[in-house]
Structure 1
Amino acid sequence: MKKPYPSSEPGLIPENEMDSDGDASASPERQCAVTRERLPKEAMLRFVLSPDNVVMPDLAARLPGRGVWVTAERRHVDTAASKGAFARGFKTSVTVPTDLSDLTERLLLKRCIDLLGLARKAGQAVQGHDQVRDALRGAEPAFLLEASDGAEDGRKKVYFLAKAIYSAVKVAGALSAQELGMAFGRDRVIHGLVRRGAIAKNWETAYRRLTGFRLAPELDWFPEPDR
């Protein structure tokens, strides 16, 4: 599984520009508590403490109090949990749930499903082979959605149709047919499409984070440099 975002070099931030997390309030980057790399906030996850000092994900990065940032990958969250990074970051004794990475994945998945549902209601997402085909002929998509457990021949037909029209095509394949179905109000969805726009940008951030916790099969389906 490839990293969804490239690493960036650590930077020095003046103390008077630090926020309550010890990071630059105006900076689009945060420092990972495990790797010490500075990365875009979109490539990271913020964790906070509950009133009982239990470490919890703060996906929206809006909850009050000190936060600890970790690169949005399962291995780094597991390392933070096992090597005391949360206790050091919060500067106090903390309780780390044994299933913190699994909890984070479930919340990230819910975020992806909710955003797809929002896109559907706004007319920014469609499902079904024929609907996707028609949408492709109308405008370049932000993402093709292909169920992780869908048939290979079907996904190839959709993908290569898109490639015949547009030079660069992004595919999201980490959600199962049942999970995509939850977003579209159906039992199962195999093929879908997200149109370009603000919702698509939020969806991409959520999806890239999710693929730090589960495989992104599209990297093997269509291993091309445009993704």
Structure 2
Amino acid sequence: MLAIADPDLDNGPRTDRSARSRMCAVTRQVRPIDELIRFVVAPSGEVIPDLKRKLPGRGLWVAASRQTVAEAVRRHQFSKGFKREVRVSPTLATDTEALLVRSTIEALAMAAKAGQVVSGFGKVDDTIRSRQTRASIGALIHASDGAADGIRKLDAVLRQNAGINDESNLIPVVTALTSEQLDLALGRSNVIHAALLAGPASKTFLSRSHILVRYRMADADKTAGNAAQNSPIETVRTRTT
């Protein structure tokens, strides 16, 4: 299944490009690469996450789970996997999450620059109500620390303006970022609600959101590959439109 001699390490980012799965160095389970994080050793000798899977050198793969990364640190799995002494920050699990958050914020900022984000309760409400623009909604975004009342109101608008029984017409609802983080991404203050319009940049944001959610929620879901679907915050859940 894995065309490499060492089950723990790949041969670099430019080799085995067709490989779609790897073995987690901690759980020893083979998973799709989208459910894993690649780690490499920097020239300084420090282990760092390679979120884009492009950094040079051999890589070690760990399930995209905060608990699993923390376990890798505790068990000195990186030194064992790389078969040499390496520097591993005790806060690597937290640092990795911070990088995932930053990556998600940057993706949302790019979507906004591409004109694929509408923000503010009133504008999101108008977008949902308009037959012309509603069809282009790729996701709704709510601040994780926003009031539940606003979310309920927009959900009600969705149900009033679209066929709620059509399971083929589903809109992801992203609640992985705080209001402060949404402000940073969109360059304005007090952003609580936004609508993501369809487009390439939007797909990138959704992909990175899912990775962030998986990292945070995999342990709660008892698997390292599925985001918990019942948490009201810090998740990507599906709402019927």
Deviates further, 114-123 or 38-47 = 38-47
CA distance in 2, matches of 1:69, 1:100: 14
AA of the residue aligned to 1:210: L
Deviation digits for residues 128-175 of structure 1 (CA, Å, limit 9, x no counterpart): 112212333312422211011111110111123234426422111121
CA distance in 2, matches of 1:37, 1:108: 23
CA distance in 1, matches of 2:236, 2:87: 42
Alpha carbons of structure 1 residues 191 and 69: separation in structure 2 relative to 1, 3 Å: same
SS in 2 for 1:36: coil
Give the unaligned 5+ runs of structure 2: 164-168, 218-226
SS in 2 for 1:169: strand
Q: Is the 8 A contact 2:213 2:236 kept in 1?
A: no
Give the unaligned 5+ runs of structure 1: 1-11
Counterpart residue number, 1:8:
none
Counterpart residue number, 2:231:
220
Q: Is the 8 A contact 2:39 2:60 kept in 1?
A: yes
Counterpart residue number, 1:184:
186
Correspondence 1:8-23 to 2 at 5 A: 12-15=1-4, 20=11
Deviates further, 99-108 or 34-43 = 34-43
SS in 2 for 1:148: coil
TM-score normalised to structure 1 length:
0.83
Q: CA deviation at 1:90?
A: 1.2
Correspondence 1:40-79 to 2 at 5 A: 40-79=32-71
Deviates further, 75-84 or 198-207 = 198-207
CA distance in 2, matches of 1:56, 1:192: 33
Q: CA deviation at 1:72?
A: 1.1
Q: CA deviation at 1:200?
A: 2.3
Alpha carbons of structure 1 residues 198 and 225: separation in structure 2 relative to 1, 3 Å: closer
Q: Is the 8 A contact 1:174 1:217 kept in 2?
A: no
Q: Is the 8 A contact 1:19 1:25 kept in 2?
A: no
1:116 aligns with 2:108: yes
- Flag as ranges the 4+ runs of structure 1 deviating above 6 A: 222-225
Alpha carbons of structure 1 residues 134 and 218: separation in structure 2 relative to 1, 3 Å: farther
TM-score normalised to structure 2 length:
0.79
CA distance in 2, matches of 1:224, 1:198: 19
CA distance in 2, matches of 1:109, 1:220: 18
Q: CA deviation at 1:217?
A: 9.3
Alpha carbons of structure 1 residues 52 and 211: separation in structure 2 relative to 1, 3 Å: same
SS in 2 for 1:159: helix
SS in 2 for 1:174: coil
CA distance in 2, matches of 1:148, 1:76: 24
Q: Is the 8 A contact 1:146 1:173 kept in 2?
A: yes
CA distance in 1, matches of 2:119, 2:207: 21
Correspondence 1:111-190 to 2 at 5 A: 111-136=103-128, 137=130, 138=133, 139-164=135-160, 165=162, 167-190=169-192
- How many residue pairs end up in the alignment? 215
Alpha carbons of structure 1 residues 43 and 14: separation in structure 2 relative to 1, 3 Å: closer
RMSD of aligned Cα (Å)? 2.8
- Report % sequence identity: 35
